[in-house]
């Protein structure tokens, strides 16, 4: 495991927007119910392997484009474009401070006819063409963890610079706080400071969703910042994840040293309004859930029996009846694989 991998998973010591009063009527928290069905990952139909000097050091996020898949290679501070059959097309970017250079890129999202790339190293958002060509850069507030694009609001940023809010957005040229954290989920109530490692996504209906990684909960907002829903992951999965994370924090020195530890790594909006959340530490059998806020149902995403789940399960991206898997493996390095996915009864 590289130093960057550890720093991304464990964060250690070393203006109020127009929605300010929207938390007055907070919905009651509830739990997702786990579905009897599951999305089963099956046959691998394409792979990107043996890339030589172009090998991915750490594939961390992906955005589909007309040409194929634009991949964040966080380990090399670059963007890598593959076609739909996972053939390498081009690479753009390198480590540095200049235009088209990055210090530690983590997230990527479609932004109308452009793509926005979150660079947590330089605390900035770079806008690029769908093929990765650099266009411009905007400086952000401290400690951003994810970005999304809203058709009306523009860039929405999950960060740690807007308490007691999850997000910030740009209004009249300024980055302002947005989406107040529900009272029940304020992480500073016990007097211990924690760095939030939350994720954000915008669904086709314009709703803005935050995955609160500390509480393992999906928190949903209307475009005006009004809180619309609060749902925890299903039990006993949620309690198991929280217990595993607590054990990890204890191993690295406890909460006085470790200010945050990531459990969820991807929050992806789907075309039908649902969301896919990739949950770390699910073992070989599963990688996360498809969440449906309309009926509070969580459908597990699992590997078919006999599938090489551990090898391909690091991250994933849904697209129609296929799923793009990318992983880091000590033997095989960082790879991409495209697999079929089917909804099955369990």
Task: Classify residue 310 as left (phi > 0), alpha (psi -120 to 50) or beta.
Answer: alpha
> Domain segments of the chain: what residues?
3-14+27-345
- Residues 75-113: pLDDT tens digits? 899 999 999 999 999 999 999 999 999 999 999 999 999
Considering 25-29, 127-131, 158-162, the range whose residues carry the highest mean pLDDT is 127-131
Query: Which CATH homologous superfamily contains domain 3-14+27-345?
Result: TolB, C-terminal domain (2.120.10.30)
* For the chain, percent of residues with pLDDT exceeding 70: 84
* Whether the Cβ atoms of residue 79 and residue 93 lie closer than 8 Å to each other: yes
Distance, in Å, from the CA atom of 51 to the CA atom of 218, rounded to the nearest integer, reads 37
Contacts of 29 by beta carbon, 8 Å cutoff, 6+ apart: 182, 184, 217, 230, 231, 232
Q: Give the span between the Cα atoms of 232 and 291, in whole angstroms.
A: 10
Query: Whole-prediction pTM value?
Result: 0.89
Q: What is the C-alpha R_g of the chain?
A: 19
How far is the C-alpha of 161 from the C-alpha of 262, rounded, in Å? 18
pLDDT tens-digit profile of 23-72? 457 888 999 999 999 999 999 999 887 677 777 888 889 999 999 999 99
What is d(CA 169, CA 224) in angstroms, rounded to the nearest whole number? 11
How many H helices and E strands in the chain? 3, 30
Task: Enumerate the β-bridge partners of residue 62.
Answer: 71
């Amino acid at each position: 495991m590289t130093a960057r991998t550890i720093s991304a998973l464990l964060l250690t010591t070393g203006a109020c927007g127009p929605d300010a009063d929207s938390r007055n009527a907070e919905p009651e928290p509830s739990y997702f119910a786990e579905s009897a069905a599951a999305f089963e990952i099956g046959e691998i139909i394409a792979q990107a392997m043996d890339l030589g000097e172009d090998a991915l050091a750490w594939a961390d996020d992906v955005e589909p484009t007309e040409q194929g898949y634009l991949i964040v290679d966080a380990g090399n501070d670059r963007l890598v474009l593959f076609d739909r059959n996972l053939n390498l097309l081009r690479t753009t970017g390198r480590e540095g401070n200049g235009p088209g250079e990055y210090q530690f890129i983590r997230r990527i999202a479609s932004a109308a006819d452009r793509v926005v790339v979150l660079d947590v190293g330089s605390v900035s958002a770079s806008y690029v063409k769908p093929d990765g060509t650099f266009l411009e850069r905007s400086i952000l507030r401290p400690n951003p963890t994810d970005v999304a694009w809203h058709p009306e609001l523009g860039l929405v940023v999950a960060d740690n610079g807007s308490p007691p809010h999850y997000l910030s957005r740009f209004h009249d040229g300024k980055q302002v706080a947005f989406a107040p954290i529900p009272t029940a989920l304020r992480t500073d109530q016990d007097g211990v400071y924690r760095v939030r490692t939350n994720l954000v996504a915008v669904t086709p209906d314009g709703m803005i969703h935050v995955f609160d990684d500390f509480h393992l909960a999906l928190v949903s907002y209307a475009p005006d910042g009004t809180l619309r829903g609060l749902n925890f992951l299903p039990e006993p999965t949620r309690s198991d994840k929280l217990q595993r994370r607590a054990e990890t924090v204890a191993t690295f020195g406890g909460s006085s040293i470790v200010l945050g530890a990531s459990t969820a790594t991807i929050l992806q909006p789907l075309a039908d309004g649902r969301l896919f959340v990739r949950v770390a530490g699910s073992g070989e059998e599963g990688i996360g859930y498809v969440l449906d806020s309309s009926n509070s149902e969580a459908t597990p995403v699992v590997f078919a029996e006999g599938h090489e789940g551990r090898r391909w399960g690091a991250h994933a991206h849904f697209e129609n009846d296929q799923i793009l898997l990318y992983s880091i493996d000590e033997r095989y390095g960082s790879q991409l694989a495209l697999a079929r996915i089917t909804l099955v009864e369990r």
